[in-house]
Amino acid sequence: MLIIGLIEAGLFITGYFLINNQNNVNKKIEQFIINKDNYLKTDKIVVDKNLKAFFILKLIYAITFIPLAIVLSKINLKPIYFGIFTALMIHLAAAIVIDTFGERYTKIYKTILKLH
């Protein structure tokens, strides 16, 4: 589970820094200054796509979590498999919590966009 977590964290952190670098921030600020209405319209579409992605990810995590919980409660597994499934469930639960925070702040941003 540590290896999976490290790979996942490495991919997401790398992706985050590739997308959220200063050049991209400067480009977005320039686009906003040049054409505020078009920028806001485009950004609302991106925000809606992000909210759908949060929902789908959380749904996938939950759909995976529930069978694991049932398997752990009904089947007598070897300790290694019990440990792996438990670690995977903890990982999925943490991912749901993290995505919930991201979804919450995206909804706040969407509300602010609606005001403009």
**Taking Cα atoms as reference points, which of 58, 54, 56 lies closest to residue 107?**
54
CB-based contact 78:19 (threshold 8 Å) = no
Compute how many other C-beta atoms are within 10 angstroms of the C-beta atom of residue 103.
17
Distance CA 10, CA 8 (A): 5
Position 105 scores a pLDDT of 93
Tens digit of each residue's pLDDT (9 = 90 or more) over 44-92: 999 999 999 999 999 999 999 999 999 999 988 898 888 888 988 998 9
Tokens of 58: 């959380």
